[in-house]
């Protein structure tokens, strides 16, 4: 039997984790709706451009 079982977190716990990690949530009810529709992990792909550590690509200027 697997001793490292992980249990799903409910919506309130997910919001708590997001706030603890620095996300500003102004409308809790809208956040709950989005998490129910999209899901915690799938929504994560939309957050990458907003992360401070996200690598910014510098625009290369064409040589003339």
Q: Is the pTM of this model over 0.85?
A: no
CB environment 41-57: b (16+ within 10 A), e (fewer): eeeeeeeeeeeeeeeee
- Under 8 Å between Cβ of 19 and 25: yes
- Is the pLDDT at 56 greater than 70? The verdict is no
29 or 22, which is more confident: 29
Say which residue the tokens 């709950």 belong to: 32
> 46 versus 21: which is more confidently predicted?
21
Tens digit of each residue's pLDDT (9 = 90 or more) over 25-50:
999 999 999 899 988 888 877 777 77
């Amino acid at each position: 039997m697997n001793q490292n079982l992980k249990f799903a977190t409910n919506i309130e716990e997910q919001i708590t984790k997001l706030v603890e990690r620095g996300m500003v949530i102004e409308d809790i009810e809208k956040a709950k709706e989005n998490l129910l529709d999209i899901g915690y992990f799938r929504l994560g792909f939309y957050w990458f451009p907003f992360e401070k550590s996200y690598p910014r690509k510098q625009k290369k200027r064409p040589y003339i």
